[in-house]
Each structure stands twice: as C-alpha cells, then as structure tokens.
C-alpha cells in the first residue's frame, strides 16, 4: 500500500514584526491590551511593496525541500493554497514552479478555501500520491492578507498578517496521512468574505475583508471540534492517542475553545498566533514547521491538523509524523 508521508517542512514570515503598539502608532484606534486580551496576538508580519504570495511561498518551499533532503526537480506536484494570489492567472503554483527551477512538467495548481486552504491542499495531494500517479508533492499555504485589509476597520485589520508555510509530502511504505475530512457550507458566506471583484479594469463591490466576528467564533469552534472527531473515528483512534493538535491560528480564544471541545489539554496544542496573527492558509504549516524545528514535534507522534475559513469551508488531517 502506498502512503503519503511528510518528509520536510518550511516556513517564512516577511519583514520585521509589527507589534500592536506599532499599529497604534500608525493611527489605528486600538491598544496592545485590547488586541492581546481578545485575540492573543502580539505581532504580525507584512510583505513589502512588490512582495507577493509567490515570493513568500518560494522561501518556505526551499526550506521544506532542504529539510526533506530532496532536489526541487524531484517534486512532481505543486499545490498552493492561497486567497491572495499574485495574478488572476497563471496560478501562484505555476509561478512557484518556475521560481524553483522545476522543469519536469509536473502538475501545479492553486486551491482556494481561505483559512482551511492548507487542509484542502494536503488532502488533495495525499490522494494524488496514494493513487500512484505522483511521488512527491510540495504543498504550500501562502498569503498576503495585508493587501485586502481595511485599515479603518479595527475589528479586522489587527487580526491578520502575511506569511507562508510548506511541506514536502512523499510516497512511502510507512503510514503518514491516516485520514482526512473536508466540508463546506456556502450558506454562511456573508459572515466572512471579500465581497468585491474586478471587471473591465475596475473594482466592483467591496475589495476589503469583512467579518462578523461572533458568528465566525461560534461556527469555527463547533465545526473544528466535529471534524477532529471525524478523522479520529475514520482511523479508529481516540483523542488520548493524539500528541499534538495544530489548529488554524485565528485567535487564541478559538484555539482554546476548540481544544476544550476536542478534549485535549492546552499543553498538547500548538499555538503560534501570538507571533504572526491570522495568516489564513499559511497558519497551519507555519505552526507545524515552528513546532518541528523547536523540537516539540518529533517522529513517531500523532498530529491533528485542522482549519476553518470563509466559504464556509473546514477540514482536518490526522497525521502519523
């Protein structure tokens, strides 16, 4: 049987940290105490002018490829999860393939599921590998959410940041991805969306991120708890057999409430949101890479990765690392 196993991880945060006090200094009517107590966020990173999702993805990808100990041309599938692509087309994945110098004609495409985009991309890549059609996938979450924030809306602009995370997923005879689950309910789209588009060279509608925070909180905690149970049931495992929960890093209150609903102590939850804010599709692989590199996550452990985002979409993966 062919399994899909994580061979290496990488991540990247652009520029210097922008603290809550830095935002206040920029004229946003808020405070470090207000942001930190409600979200757990202390800082975030913003891409420089001219720095795009593919730039962030390239750095994270090179780090993941190095960690995996493979050559870039060994990658025959690239999936980039992003809601903030460089262009309408070509895909950010195709741009990334070019930047990495990959010339093997492997597949490359984007996935758009907002903050659960990485869970979607990972699930798709795992199925390609298990089918035998591809041997080694580069799965990336990369976002420049700073480009779609309304800096007059303090309820949203303080929450998000830019970043990228990547994994190399490869075929193996050892178990890796044990189970995945993906879901969507488009009827909830108004509570988190960017309700604008480009037509004939003009912006139609509202080009900024809009969110009903309370509605998102309630929805997120419920579905994250449910989808974690779903992948555990699929693999016939119990929550007691999970070493680490790596949730989408939206805010610390959602993370804490999800852990409680799932039944894991906070000591078994990877939370990096304080250092980079909500980086949407990048947040799960960012947190995964940080915890692997600092030694908390080691080979032989069992992980639950899960995310929820606009759409509404949500998903999870149970991983034997």
pLDDT at 48: 98
Tell me if residue 157 is catalytic: no
Options 20, 52, 251, 278, the catalytic residue: 278
pLDDT at 230: 98
Options 115, 188, 251, 276, the catalytic residue: 115
Mean pLDDT for back-to-back runs of 10 residues, the chain (321 residues): 97 98 95 95 98 98 98 98 98 98 96 98 98 98 98 96 98 97 97 95 95 95 97 98 98 96 96 98 98 98 98 97 98
Distance in angstroms (rounded) separating the CA atoms of residues 244 and 247: 10
Are 126 and 4 spatial neighbours (Cβ–Cβ below 8 Å)?
yes
pLDDT at 96: 98
Tell me if residue 152 is catalytic: no
Residue whose tokens read 């006090």: 21
Tell me if residue 278 is catalytic: yes
Are 100 and 62 spatial neighbours (Cβ–Cβ below 8 Å)?
yes
Distance in angstroms (rounded) separating the CA atoms of residues 173 and 292: 22
Options 20, 248, 251, 276, the catalytic residue: 248
pLDDT at 233: 98
pLDDT at 264: 96
CB neighbours of residue 98 within 10 Å: 14
Distance in angstroms (rounded) separating the CA atoms of residues 195 and 197: 7
pLDDT at 313: 98
Domains of the chain, start order: 3-174 (3.40.47.10), 178-320 (3.40.47.10)
């Amino acid at each position: 049987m062919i399994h899909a196993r994580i061979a290496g991880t990488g991540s990247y945060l652009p520029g210097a940290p922008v603290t809550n006090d830095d935002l206040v200094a920029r004229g946003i009517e808020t405070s470090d105490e207000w942001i930190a107590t409600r979200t757990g966020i202390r800082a975030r990173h913003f891409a420089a002018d001219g720095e795009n999702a593919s730039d962030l993805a390239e750095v994270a990808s090179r780090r993941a490829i190095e960690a995996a100990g493979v050559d870039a041309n060994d990658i025959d599938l690239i999936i980039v999860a992003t809601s903030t692509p460089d262009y309408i087309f070509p895909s950010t994945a195709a741009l990334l393939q070019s930047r990495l110098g990959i010339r093997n004609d492997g597949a490359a495409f984007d996935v758009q599921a907002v903050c659960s985009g990485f869970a979607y991309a990972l699930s798709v890549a795992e199925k390609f590998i298990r089918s035998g059609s591809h041997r080694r996938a580069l799965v990336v979450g990369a976002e420049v959410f700073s480009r779609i924030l309304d800096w007059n809306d303090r309820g949203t602009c303080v929450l998000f940041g830019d970043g990228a995370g990547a994994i190399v997923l490869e075929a193996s005879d050892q178990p890796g991805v044990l189970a995945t689950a993906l879901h969507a309910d488009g009827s909830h789209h108004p509570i988190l969306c960017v309700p604008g588009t480009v037509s004939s060279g003009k912006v139609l509608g509202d080009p900024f991120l809009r969110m009903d925070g309370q509605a998102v909180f309630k929805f997120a905690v419920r579905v994250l708890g449910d989808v974690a149970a779903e992948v555990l049931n699929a693999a016939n495992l119990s929550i007691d057999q999970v070493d680490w929960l790596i949730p989408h890093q939206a805010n610390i209150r959602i993370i804490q409430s999800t852990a409680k609903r799932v039944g894991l102590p906070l000591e078994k939850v990877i939370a990096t949101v304080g250092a980079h804010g909500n980086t949407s599709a990048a947040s799960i692989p960012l947190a995964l890479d940080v915890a692997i590199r600092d030694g908390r996550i080691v080979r032989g452990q069992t992980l639950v990765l899960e995310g929820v985002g606009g759409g509404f979409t949500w998903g999870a993966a149970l991983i034997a690392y």
